[in-house]
A and B are shown apart, each in its own frame.
Chain A
Amino acid sequence: MSATSGSRSASPLTRGFSSGSLRAVTAPILLGVVVLLLWQVAVVLLDIKPFVLPSPVNIGTQFASSFDSVWAGTVVTGTNAFVGLLLGAVTGILAAIAAALVRVFDELSVPIVTAAAVIPIVALAPVLYTMFGANVETARQLVAALAVFIPVYLNTLKGLRQVRPVHRDLMRAYAASPWQATRTVTLPGAMPFLFTGLRIASSLAVISALIAEYFGGPVGGLGKSITSAAASSNYPLAYAYVLGSILLGLVFYAVTLAFEKLASRHSSSTP
């Protein structure tokens, strides 16, 4: 998902500066509050059973009362996602640098990476459980790592190839060595792309680690907890786990987004 927020360049001439940014904050919050209220009202008025959809208040109370077990599940799934993110990101970046430097490596990997980008990686979960053992978390971390690898690799490689001709000519005019050129122009130029890849990957890491749990493996994580709560018809608890996984996803996203903002303070061209 290489898409970022589709912000359009709003001319300050046509749109009031302060009123625009105010609306950017209040409008979504307002919409969120309205939807929550409507949800609550609908569940109460239409008498919707909790196994179809519990009310927000119901989920909230359940979340608070079983916070400890939700937290325990979050730690398990979060650790898997984090290990996967780290592993996938490091290998993705190294592979991208290798592909940018050595053409043969790039050519060998094109069909595999292209295919991997469109197939459901999580499908590998069952055989990974057999290969690494069904009672450890390794398989889930690997699923997350594989899912992370692809966007990081593709975006970093794109960034490494994005050297602007004027910068390349400048380096040539300075008679800079290849390594100097790489360090001063290529790598900094690739950073925004790398972080875009990481931001996409951070969400994928959590999602992959979570859904890998649906394919088997040890209990304890959020995914398994959701299924077992659903199996015992404790739907508000299941939704409390869902809420936990949503918060986990948000934390991963927010942290990588913060890193991205930090790293791209000075770059004018974000991909």
Chain B
Amino acid sequence: MTAAVPSLSLRAKSTNARVRPYVFGALGLVLLALVWEAYKAVGPAEGVMIGDITVLPRTSDIAMPHLWTMWERLGEPVTSAAGSPALWFAVLQAAGFTLGIAAVGWLVGVSVGMLLAIVMQRFRTAESALLPWVVLSQTVPLIAIAPLVKRWGAQIEVGAFDWEDWMSVALIASYLAFFPVSIGALRGLGSPDKAHLELMHSYAAGWWSTLLRLRLPASVPYLLPALRLAAANAVIGTVVAEVSIGLRGGVGRMMVEFASAASGDPAKPWAPIFGAVLVGLIAAGVVIVLGLFVGRYRRGEVSA
């Protein structure tokens, strides 16, 4: 056997290894679709009951529409009224609206989270006082107040500035977004090696230049997953707040509206769900792209 043969097969294997995750990933999605259709085909119409608890869903066309029905429904108009836009178009519009609010919420949340982390990093007392509350604030379902924030809209008015409902939604989104950022940033800001900190100290560098040149760059690897989590949280917060505040225009409200039409048009409620999935994927994707621009801050130092 010549030496060329193993090296050739090695190369073939490496190509295989690169393609493999995509092939299997796609297979996984196909499998999920097959499970859906297979259960729909063989499962009982009233679902599988144990006692009076439905453990497996009903398989009627109303409860579980065919995947192709959902797909076809996207191409049809939203309602039978004349001039009604195609469903996919309406969903995309709503998704854009939701994405916009989530983006505002994300930005506000990230700013607040960063600021909190920097304050906690700077003052140890602030850290002891704030951190438990920051952790606590996310372990409790404070999002429950979403329906109550609605009333703020009519009440807050400063000069020409009117508090609008979408701001309440963004506020809820930012509340969910700030936590991972503040925790991730606090960890990241505290992550530089002792040697690096002492080096800065030996340079007589002040707190501010240490922050700019050492702590912030060092926090990037911690910050990126936190920002991605914050994006996902902001989307969840936006969708939920749209529902509970009753803000029209986004996918959240659309879900509730279309769900009431489910009995006559069972494929319709799935459309805004696809919209919400899309918003979540785009939000996470944007942060991943953002991460590509700061690649050099993610280099690990190979210790000597």
- A–B contact at 8 Å CB threshold (below): yes
Query: Which residue numbers of A lie inside 8 Å of B, CB to CB?
Result: 1-6, 8, 15, 23-24, 27-28, 30-32, 49, 51-52, 104, 107-112, 115, 117-124, 126-133, 136, 138, 202-203, 206-207, 210-211, 214-216, 222-223, 226-227, 230, 235, 238-239, 241-242, 245-246, 248-250, 252-253
Distance from A153 Cβ to chain B, minimum over Cβ atoms (Å): 14
Once A131-B63, A215-B255 are accepted as A-B contacts, the answer to whether A107 and B244 lie under 8 Å apart by CB is no
B54 touches A138 (CB 8 A): yes
Q: Roughly how many angstroms separate A168 CA and B214 CA in the complex, as a whole number?
A: 36
Choose among B32, B133, B244, B273 the residue that contacts A214 (Cβ–Cβ < 8 A): B244
- B9 beta carbon closer than 8 Å to chain A: no
Q: Which residues does chain B contribute within 8 Å of A235, judged by CB atoms?
A: 148, 151
Q: Roughly how many angstroms separate A226 CA and B152 CA in the complex, as a whole number?
A: 16
B186 touches A138 (CB 8 A): no
A27 touches B128 (CB 8 A): yes
Chain B residue at smallest Cβ distance from A244: B144
B235 touches A120 (CB 8 A): yes
Q: Which residues does chain B contribute within 8 Å of A245, judged by CB atoms?
A: 140-141, 144
Chain B residue at smallest Cβ distance from A235: B148
Q: Roughly how many angstroms separate A9 CA and B184 CA in the complex, as a whole number?
A: 16
Query: Which residue numbers of B lie inside 8 Å of A, CB to CB?
Result: 20-21, 24-29, 31-32, 47, 53-54, 57-58, 62-64, 124-125, 128-133, 135-136, 138-148, 150-152, 155, 179-180, 183-184, 186-187, 190, 225-226, 228-229, 231-232, 235-236, 239-240, 243-244, 251-252, 255-256, 258-259, 262, 266, 269-270, 272-273, 276-277, 279-281, 283-284
Number of A-B contacts (CB under 8 A): 213
Q: Helix, strand, loop or mixed for chain B's interface?
A: helix
Q: Helix, strand, loop or mixed for chain A's interface?
A: helix
B141 touches A30 (CB 8 A): no
Closest 6 CB pairs of A and B: A119-B280, A126-B259, A108-B28, A107-B24, A249-B140, A131-B57
